[in-house]
Amino acid sequence: MHNDSIKLIEMPEHDSISVCVYNEHDGLFALGERINEKHEEAYMNGYNWDSLIRFYVGQKDPALMAEVGTDPEAGMFAAYMSYSLENLEKMKRFEAHVKEMVSNDDELIAFVDANVEEIEWD
């Protein structure tokens, strides 16, 4: 549903692969507002998307999450690894987890409801 807000970016010339989540895109922004309406601590800027994504992917694929670096900003979340074909496959897997996470707004909100106390919000 929010696939246009999530981009895999390959930059071999900079030894980097990133997955960027643009949380200010209309649909994802509205989803963030819905989450924040239910949970005041979950103000869904890039830092809290970082918290949510790291928790979600950590639940689904803890070994992968242990390898991925993150760099949130106010309007965006980025995950990254150094460039290699092996890491490219890992980042594609990471991207798939994030797309799965935001594929159904109601399911994501239910996930947040169930785990709000465990997620380390900014």
pLDDT digits (tens, 9 = 90+) for 64-102: 999 999 999 999 999 999 999 999 999 999 999 999 999
Rounded to whole angstroms, what are the CA distances from 25 to 4, 32, 66, 82? 8, 10, 28, 27
pLDDT at 89: 98
How far is it, in rounded angstroms, from Cα 48 to Cα 33?
Answer: 12
**103 has a pLDDT exceeding 90:** yes
Q: Sign of dihedral through CA atoms 22, 28, 30, 32? A: negative
What Rg value do the Cα atoms of the chain yield, rounded?
14
β strands within the chain, DSSP E? 6-11, 16-21, 69-70, 77-81
pLDDT in tens, 11-69: 999 999 999 999 998 899 999 999 999 999 999 999 999 999 999 999 999 999 999 99
Q: Output the pTM of the full model.
A: 0.94
* Residue ranges covered by each domain of the chain: 3-115
How far is it, in rounded angstroms, from Cα 102 to Cα 58?
15
CATH topology for 3-115 is: Gyrase A; domain 2 (3.30.1360)
Q: Which two tokens stand for residue 25?
A: 């895109």
pLDDT at 4: 87
